Amino acid sequence: MMKSSICACISLLLVTWLTAGWAQAQVPAPDEPTYRIAKQLNCPTCAGRNLADCPTETCAQWKAEIKAQLDAGKSAEEVLAYFQDRFGPTVLQEPPKSGITAPLWAAPVGAAVVFLAIAGLVMWRTAQRGAPSPASDGTDAHDPFVAALEREVRAGE
């Protein structure tokens, strides 16, 4: 029973791998400029998939549009601007760093700064607490913890 389940799983994985390889092979090899531009765009229907590597009908149409515009003499920037104007900034693999998404781009840098600031502050405060007061014999007379400790030591003597 266990063996047959393992065999079934391995067969399923093998079939999936082979099918994926076949599907990948169906993506037509585009000419270089079209491919480079398509790499900068998202497939409009498959979440998170690159336009250049997607074999769907929608993506085939979009790649044909890129090629047609390049053949008509448009630059890569103009083609990308066309797609952004027509379909919105979400078609770009790297959306503009502005608007509501700006905090997401700034987040890693901000997080590093906040992390270093908090770590530095905590270390500095800990070091300050551990350092002896220069005006005393190493104890802080105003510290209630030290005073209580001294009382207990004296009581024990």
Partner 1 sequence: MRTTHLSPRWSAKCAPESEGQVKGRSLLVAGVSTGIILIAGIFFVALNLVMQQGARPAPGSPAPDFTLKLYPGYRAGLPEEIRLSDLRGNVVVINFWASWCVECHKEAQALENVHRAYMDRGVVVLGIDYLDTEAPALAYLKQYDVTYPNGIDLQQRIAKAYRITGVPETFFIDRDGIVREVVVAPLTEAQLRAKIEALIED
Least separation in angstroms between CB 3 and partner 1: 42
Half-sphere exposure of 71 (CA within 13 A, CB side): 7
Structure tokens at 6: 């393992």
Q: Which C-beta is closer to partner 1: that of 23 or that of 123?
A: 123
Number of other CB atoms surrounding residue 80 within 10 Å: 17
Q: Which C-beta is closer to partner 1: that of 58 or that of 136?
A: 58
Q: How far is CA 14 from CA 6, 10, 20, 23, 81, in A?
A: 12, 6, 10, 14, 42
Q: Which C-beta is closer to partner 1: that of 20 or that of 104?
A: 104
Binding site for partner 1 (CB under 8 A): 44-45, 56-58, 61-62, 64-65, 68, 85-88, 90, 100-101, 103-104, 107, 110-111, 114-120, 122-123, 126-127, 130, 145, 149, 152-153, 156-157
Least separation in angstroms between CB 141 and partner 1: 17
Least separation in angstroms between CB 36 and partner 1: 19
Least separation in angstroms between CB 138 and partner 1: 13
